[in-house]
Amino acid sequence: MFNPTDHLDNAYQVSSEFDFIAKNTVIPDAQKLKERGPEMTMYAPGIGNAAFALLNNQVELRSTEGGTTISLGGTPLLHIKDLEWTPLDRRAEHALTTPLTGLVMALTTERLPRSYKALLSLVQNLNKISLAFPVNKNALASSPNNSLVKNALLRLSDTLDWEMRQLNIVVQPSIASSPAGGTQLNLATLLRPKPAGKLSSPKERLARLAQRGGTALLIGPPGTFKTETAKQTAVQEGMQLIIAKGAPGVEDRDFIGGIYPTEKGPQWIDGPLSRAFVSASQGKTLLLIDEVLRYHPENLNVIIGAMDTVSTEEAVAIGIPRSALTGDRHYLLSLPNGDILPAPYENLLWVMTTNIGADHLQTADRFDAALLSRIDLIQEYTYPDEGQATALYTKIAEDPDLAALTYQAELVTRDALQAEGTLLVRSLEARKCIALIREVRSLELSGVDRSSAFLDAVDSIVIPYCVPRDLNGVLDAEAAEMLRRRIEEEVLGL
């Protein structure tokens, strides 16, 4: 009987139709899903072959009877309706069927969102080497720039295999004829990104910028996941992540590198900027400059200079060997010894974060216009809404009631901070809320009841964070009493 899981296994046994990627190719960590952990995974040629059957326009899709009928080479193959699959032809037993059907599901349903994204990434990389739908397989095979496509295929193979194995597919008995009528679906339209029904999220905007390279500035209060967004973007886009933490007193050599004593004597040690340029010369890289306004303004000049781009001809005129250049535009980093490191524009994503507000220690109160003019994307962050916050807190607490109490406490501190004549210096943010949840859980495990545990955690976590101190470092008693009373009444109902 037709078995989708067996077909996925068989997808690893067929031969690859493309010389640049063999069937036993090990998928590198950069293209592998993090859920795989340390397990070694390999490329499934059946998935790659199915992708190009789809992209070659060998596949016809027809919307019929609430589902989709898939035809390959003019022969109806399979009818899918959500997770119910009905074979229409003996060719449904082919090892290509399950990968192809998975790709169709990714395009026509929301069951395989990560595979959909991986498939669109493959299409985008084909476009980069001037191959548009329908893709000519011979043109692809002869293309000298197919490393982009290879990486996208590896990612698609790993993603589709993993997502398909999570589904509970039901195979119905075969029928002799396909459902009648229906409307033919336009593959060219399906292979374009779906228009968003709402504004893009910060993560989506950053992911798009990562595809083409550029610079981003993430601004907002503490605890709004600016830094986490950048880190997750690097992980999900398969990018090398390099981090520079803002601090007063940083010198140019801390960015670029310098001679430092080591066990083997004085040696040159690359700084984060140099490491990012070297990494970007080899592949996609995200340079995260965290809390950028904590640097002295004069120390940002090295960053501003490194953000300028030049054309290939300009780089060659400066003295960079043409063989060291990839792409059309390049960043250049001048080292103290006179050497210049080039990095392809499309391979390097700069992400800067800052916490703007009176309560945050910074060495600069505004951005230099020269720096702002070099930033492509400025993303304003606000506090997460109730749905986002409680989802996060529920995941940490494993208890929806505790998550709801925590969010209400956060709202109380925010309201108290905004009140006229406020006694507080800051409100709770996500990190402190997570610390509050963990402390409450720890107290409850030791036998303390919920209300007592929550108030104990408020005393040790919330009040010391939100309440001001006098010149002797003593907490303001009036502010502490006000905040504790409001949490008792408005959060715990005591």
The model's pLDDT over 179-191, given as tens digits with 9 standing for 90+, comes to 666 677 877 777 7
Task: Check whether 196 has a pLDDT greater than 70.
Answer: no
Q: What is the mean pLDDT of residues 142-148?
A: 69
Nearest in space to 458 (alpha carbons), one of 435, 442, 476:
435
pLDDT in tens, 9-53: 888 888 888 778 888 899 988 888 888 888 889 999 999 989 988
Find out whether 389 and 410 touch, Cβ atoms under 8 Å: yes
Is pLDDT at 494 greater than 70 in this prediction?
yes
Percent of the chain whose pLDDT exceeds 90: 36
At residue 93, the pLDDT reads 62
Q: Assign 480 to helix, strand or coil.
A: helix
Which residue, among 346, 318, 317, 350, has the nearest Cα to 330 in the 3D structure? 346
Residues 244-259 have pLDDT tens digits of 988 776 776 778 887 7
Q: What is the pLDDT of residues 352-410, one digit of tens each?
A: 998 865 454 444 446 778 888 889 999 988 887 787 788 889 999 999 999 999 999 99
Superfamily of domain 202-307+345-380: P-loop containing nucleotide triphosphate hydrolases (3.40.50.300)
Q: Give the confidence band of 446 by pLDDT, cuts at 50, 70, 90.
A: very high
Q: What is the mean pLDDT of residues 196-210?
A: 77
Q: Which of 88-92, 100-104, 301-305, 448-452 has the highest mean pLDDT?
A: 448-452
Alpha-carbon distance of 92 to 131, in angstroms, equals 29
In this predicted structure, the answer to whether residue 58 has a pLDDT above a threshold of 90 is no
Dig out the tokens for 49 from the structure: 């072959």
Tell me what pLDDT residue 442 has.
Answer: 96
What pLDDT was estimated at residue 336?
85
Domain boundaries, the chain: 4-190, 202-307+345-380, 386-491
Using DSSP, state whether 167 is helix, strand or coil.
Answer: coil
Q: Quick one: average pLDDT of 143-168?
A: 84
| DSSP secondary structure, 133-157, as one string | SSP-HHHHHT-TTTHHHHHHHHHHH
* pLDDT of the residue at 380: 87
- Split at pLDDT 50, 70, 90, the class of 92 is low
Alpha-carbon distance 370 to 20, whole Å? 44
At 248 the three-state DSSP class reads coil
DSSP states of 79-107: EEETTEEEE-SGGGGSTTHHHHHHHHHHH
pLDDT bucket at 64, cuts 50 / 70 / 90: confident
pLDDT tens, position by position, 329-342: 999 999 888 889 99
